[in-house]
Amino acid sequence: MSRTFWAPGRVNLIGEYTDLAGGLVLPAALDLGVRIEATPAETIDLRSSDLVGVARLAPDGTGLADDSGWARYVAAVAAELAALGRPPVGLAGEISSTLPIGAGLSSSAALEVGVGLALCAVADFPLEPLELARAAQRAEHRAVGVPSGIMDQAACVLGHADCAILLDTGTLEHELVPLPPELAIVIVHSGIARRLEDSGYATRKHELEAGDPRRRRHVATENERVLATVEALRTRDFGRLGEVFHAGHESLRVDFEVTTPELDRLVELAYAEGAVAARMTGGGFGGAIVALVEADSAAAFADAVLGGYGPGGRAYLCRASDGAREL
């Protein structure tokens, strides 16, 4: 009998790169994500028309013929779960995705968590949500060698409808922060995809660890901006919200140097078209911006920004959703 699993992508409202130093983040799970329809099998045999290709390997993650595409994430998840003692039960089925690749919305984390959830379910090997998130994070490191933090996978498992998640990435303490219903989440993709393993992501982590003053200043001030954003959301101080997001983008542009001219342009357009708040989201070096917009005008806002930006941009009107689960 086929079983169906869902794992959402995430948008980080604010708190960029702070998870590399155990800081504060404020992501929200999205209603865009990865869906897996599969049955138990002797081996892992997953296909996808959305991601293009197949993943065929042993239940413990060995035996993958081609480790250059998305199948390497599947193999890495299977290997991490085998190390935790998961019985060698395979999985056969189809993966579909509504997440744009390389947009900074954690398509890889959604894939990792979704596959991990499905593999655990068919093997009757339950893991606590954050234990699954940690395994998926280790799988990301194993698959592509990127020293990413825990935020993406944690947001994927902790998501809650109409809420952001205030997460301390050092302690994993977390609480839900309701999002004002009058605001919509609009994500605008610059059309420039990036892969973290090909960007300056690892370099920024090394610079932080080495004590670079400019990089550390960004993290310190960004932690303050996360708390300021939570307060502004709770008090519905939308003027303050816009100021904090703008300051966060400027810090990423000047102190952390991870934005691009295209992302800077999109943020300018977003504010010009009436966004309450807007900033780069994700790892930068391409990808997308996130804007909080009055819900009644969200569609018109997206059209106006894309019209001003020109060819290549794409917009997604989203809402905060529940986390990974079996449907």
| Catalytic site positions | 152
d(C-alpha 271, C-alpha 242), whole Å: 9
Compute φ and ψ for 283, nearest 5 degrees. Answer: -80, -10
Non-local (6+) Cβ contacts of 268 within 8 A are none
d(C-alpha 117, C-alpha 323), whole Å: 11
Non-local (6+) Cβ contacts of 1 within 8 A are 39
Start-end of H helices in the chain: 71-83, 107-122, 129-144, 151-158, 201-209, 213-235, 238-254, 261-272, 298-309
**Terminal CA-CA length for the chain:** 14
d(C-alpha 297, C-alpha 145), whole Å: 41
According to DSSP, the residues that pair with 185 across neighbouring strands are: 292, 318
Among residues 50, 8, 4, the alpha carbon closest in space to that of 32 is found at 8
b/e 282-291 (16+ beta carbons within 10 angstroms → b): bbbbbbbbbb
Q: Is 280 helix (H, G, I), strand (E, B) or coil?
A: strand
According to DSSP, the residues that pair with 183 across neighbouring strands are: 294
- One-letter-per-residue 3-state SS of 138-157: HHHHHHHCCCCCCHHHHHHH
Positive/negative CA dihedral, 107, 110, 112, 118? negative
